[in-house]
């Protein structure tokens, strides 16, 4: 079963979200729940491959993050990390992205355990960027253009704390910038922004089949990508 799209009825949405988590966590051959997306053709159905790399900050399983000289790091959680990564991979100035888990209280999380909603981790995209080309403030604005920050622990049919809106900051300057953009965005919205802003704890790379998922499968996952 492939990842969900918007427009599903409220009752069915919860079922689809839960089943989607379970099947995606355990890819199966064609006779099972879902085929391994890593075997799917690149750029099928019009989803182009980005020139961005796939090793931001030399990320690993909770290892220290270090950007390339002259680059900076950012981390955003806005629901399904498949579509979120695809969005940021197409922003000019982004040099590398990867998806993973952060913001939780357990070590070495897996997609299956994160889907159980017991680890506290959020599906997160880690972004390495060149601040001479794109500013951190511009990236935060992209973040707010591509998801609903007013629905706590939910994006469309995806329900649970792993889908919460969150900005994980790397320094006080990023914290201040995030607060400034939230102040800009709140008057545009009828409901309060629920985005959590906190220093990034350890970041755990997600399983290989999640990385650059939309490019591998030719799909556009929610939250839908913003071409920039």
Query: Catalytic positions, please?
Result: 80
Q: Report strand pairing: 196-199 vs 165-169.
A: parallel
3-state secondary structure at position 101:
strand
**Which residues are paired to 169 by β-bridges?**
199
Q: If you write DSSP's letter for every residue of 33-49 in order, what string do you get?
A: S---GGGSPTTGGG-PP
3-state secondary structure at position 119:
coil
The per-residue b/e assignment along 153-169, b for 16 or more CB within 10 angstroms, e otherwise, is bbbbbbbbbbbbbbbbb
d(CA 97, CA 80): 15
């Amino acid at each position: 079963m492939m990842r969900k799209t918007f427009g599903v009825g409220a009752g069915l949405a919860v079922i689809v979200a839960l089943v989607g988590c379970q099947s995606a966590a355990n890819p199966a051959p064609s006779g099972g729940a879902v085929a391994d997306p890593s075997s799917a053709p690149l750029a099928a159905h019009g989803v182009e491959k980005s020139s961005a790399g796939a090793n931001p900050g030399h990320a690993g399983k909770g290892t220290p993050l270090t950007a390339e000289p002259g680059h900076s790091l950012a981390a955003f959680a806005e629901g399904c990390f498949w579509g979120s990564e695809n969005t940021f991979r197409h922003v000019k100035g982004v040099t590398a992205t990867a998806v993973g888990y952060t913001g939780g209280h357990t070590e070495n999380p897996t997609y299956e355990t994160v889907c159980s909603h017991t680890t506290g981790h959020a599906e997160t995209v880690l972004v390495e960027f060149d601040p001479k080309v794109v500013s951190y403030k511009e990236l935060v604005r992209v973040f707010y253009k591509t998801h609903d920050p007013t629905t706590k622990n939910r994006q469309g049919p995806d329900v649970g704390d792993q889908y919460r809106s969150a900005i994980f900051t790397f320094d006080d300057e990023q914290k201040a910038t995030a607060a400034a953009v939230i102040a800009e965005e709140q008057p545009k919205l009828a409901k309060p922004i629920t985005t959590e802003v906190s220093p990034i704890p350890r970041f755990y790379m997600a399983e290989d089949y999640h990385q650059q998922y939309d490019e591998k499968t030719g799909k556009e996952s929610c939250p839908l990508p913003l071409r920039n």
